[in-house]
Amino acid sequence: MGIDAGLTDIAITSNGLKTSNPRFLKNAQRNLKRKQKVLSRCKKGSKGRAKARLLVAKAHERVAFARNDFQHKLSRQLVDENQAVVVETLKVKNMLKNHCLARSIADAGWHSFVIKLDYKAKQAGKHLVKIDQWFASSKTCSCCDRKQEEMPLNVRSWTCDCGAVHDRDINAAINIKRQGILKLKAEGLSVSADGGQRKSGTLPVAA
């Protein structure tokens, strides 16, 4: 299964399924701001400030817990349903330098999600494949492999010169899957007739 990460949809799979981003931090922002405002008005060193600080910390903890629980369930489902999961190598630290998207990127929690996929796959004896971050998954036609010169982020669907009409994210996920299969083959796995992979002496597995 190829997975393209996004902000509106946290995971877009190569079979066309999209999982909406719950945006836990954004949804809790009003509550967090109210508690932080109360904290800022408390006198330093007072019992009231200590209590307000604890309430802010607990609110952040609830956000982190909800995101963590969501990621555990989604990563478990993806690993259980597939023998190989393919993702892009995302440089989240560099992406956070974009001040316009930094909060949304942090809220999505891509890095921690991939970590969960990784260790769950290892525990299950399955594969997590990370492809090159520079691979043009969104700009390459999954039908004819023709690469578009430009693909701004606001373009969510596009038509290739070959006539294929693409949903940007699903097209990217399909290309990610194919790159993952090539990488697995290079590591000694072969592609079976039904699209799975297998290694000599082991049962077939599917990407």
Paired tokens of 22? 């719950």
With H, G, I as helix, E, B as strand and everything else as coil, classify residue 89: coil
Look up 88 and say whether it is catalytic: yes
Look up 169 and say whether it is catalytic: yes
- Answer for the pair 119, 75: CB distance below 8 angstroms, yes or no: no
From 80, 88, 145, 149, active-site residue: 88
Cα–Cα distance measured from residue 13 to residue 117, given in angstroms and rounded to the nearest whole number: 14
- Answer for the pair 7, 101: CB distance below 8 angstroms, yes or no: yes
From 4, 80, 150, 161, active-site residue: 4
Show the 3-state SS of 99-129.
Answer: CCCHHHHHHHCHHHHHHHHHHHHHHCCCEEE
Q: Where are the alpha helices (DSSP H) in the chain?
A: 24-41, 47-81, 92-95, 102-108, 110-123, 168-186
Give, in order, the Cα–Cα distances in Å from 22 to each of 19, 44, 46, 67, 106. Answer: 9, 35, 36, 8, 13
- Partners of residue 4 on adjacent β-strands: 12
Look up 194 and say whether it is catalytic: no
Q: Are strands 84-88 and 127-131 parallel, antiparallel or unpaired?
A: parallel
From 107, 132, 167, 169, active-site residue: 169
Residues involved in catalysis? 4, 88, 169
